[in-house]
Amino acid sequence: MNISFEGKRILVTGAGQGIGRALALRLSKFGGKVIAISRTKKHLDTLAAEDSSIETIQANLENWDSTRDTVKKLLPIDLLVNNAAVAKLESFLDIDPENFDATFNVNLKSVINVSQIVSKNMIDRGKGGSIVNVSSQASQAALKDHAVYCASKAALDQLTRVMALELGPHNIRTNTVNPTVVMTEMGRLGWSDPEKAASMKGKIPLGRFAEVDEVVDSIVYLLSDHSSMVNGITLPIDGGFLAQ
Ligand code: NAP
């Protein structure tokens, strides 16, 4: 597939490490002007050292007002990936209200915040755009000790459908990718225990976790014109886990 993001300004949140970081590097390689937002400066510094054409911005997406100010300064944006998220594992009976707020602030509320600023400007410019929200298989399947994370990703899937409905008439497409486990920092948090990992792999028809690059491939597709009629989907990257 021939892909070029030449002339496009692309905002990626949570690009300091993991999937977001690999995505930022790939999009830059495909000619896009990538703006990488993340929380920890040292991760952004190493990203900029790896690819000096990527603009890095340190921001805590939990903060509604300062995030709005930051994103307004980055306009115009042609393509947006809401990738940043947190996972705080605890059993349902132990859910801590502070963890709930922190999780929903990043995994859902910041997606609304950043997407509002970016899509209002896309509408004003009249050029359309593509937004990819990074969800999870956890939006559609119950995972032990993941109650708040699962709920935040289920809400993200449904938010995405409404965005697709309301922004579609402006030629702005909104979709999610829904990966299975990927062994990033977040993946290691939940799935380093060999017994847990084996049990999850046993439920994945392809018998393995996803690689970071496999998630990046699907996001690139959804950002590109190759998916120009795709709007409002939740795309599993799960080796068939959700097919059962
Ligand atoms: P990761 O390695 O933990 O990276 C998450 C990134 O988000 C980090 O760069 C982190 O910044 C940033 N971030 C978190 N909170 C932030 C905040 N308040 N403000 C700004 N940036 C913030 O996780 P990942 O595995 O790459 O996850 C990427 C996406 O894939 C997430 O949406 C996740 O839910 C989804 N996903 C992951 C898996 C998996 O198994 N890994 C499976 C399905 C879906 P720092 O630099 O401070 O860490």
The predicted-structure confidence for 137-194, as pLDDT tens digits, reads as follows: 999 999 999 999 999 999 999 999 999 999 999 999 999 999 999 999 999 999 999 9
**C-alpha span between 5 and 7 (Å, rounded):** 6
Measured in Å, residue 216 CA sits from the centre of ligand 1 at 14
State the distance from the centre of ligand 1 to the C-alpha of 17, rounded, in angstroms. 7
How many Å is the maximal CA-CA distance in the chain?
A: 52
Q: Report how many domains make up the chain.
A: 1
207 located within any domain: no
Please name the residues in contact with 116: beta carbons below 8 A apart, sequence gap of 6 or more. none
Give the span between the Cα atoms of 241 and 105, in whole angstroms: 28
pLDDT beyond 80 at 1: no
Asked, for residue 90, whether it belongs to a domain, the answer is yes
Domain that holds residue 116: 9-181+214-230
With the C-alpha atoms ordered 122, 123, 127, 133, is the resulting torsion angle positive or negative? positive
Positions marked catalytic: 149, 153
CB-ligand 1 contact for 119 (6 Å cutoff): no
The span from the CA of 165 to the CA of 162, in Å, is: 5
pTM: 0.98
Could you tell me which residues are beta bridge partners of residue 178?
236
Q: What is the mean pLDDT of the chain?
A: 98
- Is 132 a domain residue? yes
Q: Is residue 177 part of a domain?
A: yes
